Amino acid sequence: MTAPLLSVRDLAVTFHLRGGLLRPTRHLKAVNGVSFDIAPGETLAVVGESGSGKSTMARAVMRLVEPSAGSIHLDGDDITALRGEPLRRIRPKLQMVFQDPYSSLDPSMIIADVVGEPLTVHGVATGADRDVRVQALLEQVGLGRYHMNRYPYEFSGGQRQRIAIARAIALQPKLLVLDEAVSALDVSTQNQILNLLEDLRRELGIAYLFISHDLGVVEHIADRVAVTYLGRIVEEGPTERIFAKPAHPYTEALLSAVPIPNPRVQRSRRRIVLPGDVPSPLAPPPGCPFHTRCPHVMDVCKTVMPAHTPMAGGGSAACYLHDPQATEDSRCAS
């Protein structure tokens, strides 16, 4: 097995919400004991409802928020606590594309500067040399060189996301973190950007940490999928296995909401509507974080957190339904 490019172990991020007069500080565990690896050139999709900690996880990997526990290794280096100059030095390896193509590009800069800025900042190229590189980058993302002197407001949402991607790949990163990068786009533009990402991966060997609240979007781009709920990964595995044989009841519910192009398959599949809302991460339930909404909840689920059990077909799920010992115990108890 090749060594992982990114290795995240037991990552936790807690936000401390300052209370006012007579109100204590509250602690919000946005990410809670998350572990995963990404191999060079691999795409890991992280999928879960809004508020499940995906962006916080991405920001921790990018070293934009401080982890409160755990470790992050990139390309063999421990980057968990990097700051200042050492962080600046690894930045070229690790780039990010955000959701909103309307606010992530500086409106006062022409495209040549938006895309060329990282080249200048990291001392890679200036002047005419930089312009030549920017032209090549624009062409790589499917934009003509004649766009160089235009401003971000002159572009559509999809074009802006292409510009953000050109800027992100300018320094030839090994890992690109895409946080809901196609979520604001219409379906056909989404597909164009997903195809572009696939082409770039083939040409440049970049690995992606691809975050989306929509499981349907990731099927064709991801090698592996990790499903998050209340700051935890509840299931992960190869995309094919996750889509064909989801193991965790939460993954099953997410999958049941994904439209299938073939109407006969659609009709034979039951939509699982979960009761209630996601609990507040300020007061997560004890035991399995999903137990307040799970159609299969057992007594043990309400008190003890299930560990990840390896699944046939690859990956693992944190659910007692797949833990032979727990299901045996619950049968004995009933």
Residues in contact with ligand SF4 by CB under 6 A are: 248-249, 288, 290-291, 294, 296-298, 301, 306, 319-321
For ligand ADP, the closer CB: 51 or 287: 51
Judged by CB under 6 A, which of 2, 50, 188, 268 binds ligand ADP?
Answer: 50
For ligand SF4, the closer CB: 147 or 248: 248
55 is an interface residue for Mg ion by CB under 5 A: yes
Query: Which residues on adjacent β-strands are paired with residue 224?
Result: 44, 238
Judged by CB under 6 A, which of 7, 9, 15, 113 binds ligand ADP?
Answer: 15
Helix (H) or strand (E) holding 32: strand 26-38
The entry of ligand ADP, Mg ion, ligand SF4, none that residue 281 binds, CB within 5 to 8 Å by partner kind: ligand ADP
Helix (H) or strand (E) holding 10: strand 6-17
The entry of ligand ADP, Mg ion, ligand SF4, none that residue 298 binds, CB within 5 to 8 Å by partner kind: ligand SF4
For Mg ion, the closer CB: 112 or 254: 254
Phi, psi for 84 (deg, rounded to 5):
55, -140
CA separation for the pair 214, 235 (Å, rounded)? 15
For ligand SF4, the closer CB: 101 or 246: 246
Q: Point out which span in 54-62, 133-141, 169-177, 187-195 binds ligand ADP (CB under 6 A).
A: 54-62
**For Mg ion, how many residues bind (rule: CB under 5 A)?**
1
For ligand SF4, the closer CB: 132 or 307: 307
- Tally Cβ neighbours within 10 Å of residue 109: 14
For ligand SF4, the closer CB: 30 or 317: 317
28 is an interface residue for ligand ADP by CB under 6 A: yes
Which residue, among 334, 308, 312, 333, has the nearest Cα to 323 in the 3D structure?
Answer: 308
Alpha helices, DSSP H, located in 93-180: 111-121, 127-140, 157-169
The entry of ligand SF4, ligand ADP, Mg ion, none that residue 56 binds, CB within 5 to 8 Å by partner kind: ligand ADP
CB of 277 to ligand ADP, least distance (A): 12
CB of 29 to Mg ion, least distance (A): 16
| Joined tokens for residue 165 | 């991607």
The per-residue DSSP string of 38-72 comes to E-TT-EEEEE--TTSSHHHHHHHHTTSS--SEEEE
56 is an interface residue for ligand ADP by CB under 6 A: yes
Under 8 Å between Cβ of 309 and 295: no
| Joined tokens for residue 317 | 């799920």
The entry of ligand ADP, ligand SF4, Mg ion, none that residue 210 binds, CB within 5 to 8 Å by partner kind: none
CA separation for the pair 148, 150 (Å, rounded)? 6
Phi, psi for 55 (deg, rounded to 5):
-65, -40
Under 8 Å between Cβ of 133 and 119: yes
The entry of Mg ion, ligand SF4, ligand ADP, none that residue 53 binds, CB within 5 to 8 Å by partner kind: ligand ADP
CB of 213 to ligand ADP, least distance (A): 7
Contacts of 290 by beta carbon, 8 Å cutoff, 6+ apart: 229, 230, 234, 248, 249, 250, 319
User: 3-state DSSP call for residue 31?
Assistant: strand
For ligand ADP, the closer CB: 45 or 148: 45
CB of 174 to ligand SF4, least distance (A): 35
Subset of residues 226 to 265 that bind ligand ADP, contact rule: CB under 6 A: none
Which residue, among 240, 221, 232, 143, has the nearest Cα to 182 in the 3D structure?
Answer: 221
Helix (H) or strand (E) holding 204: helix 187-204
**Which residues here bind ligand ADP, judged by CB under 6 A?**
15, 28, 30, 48, 50-56, 281
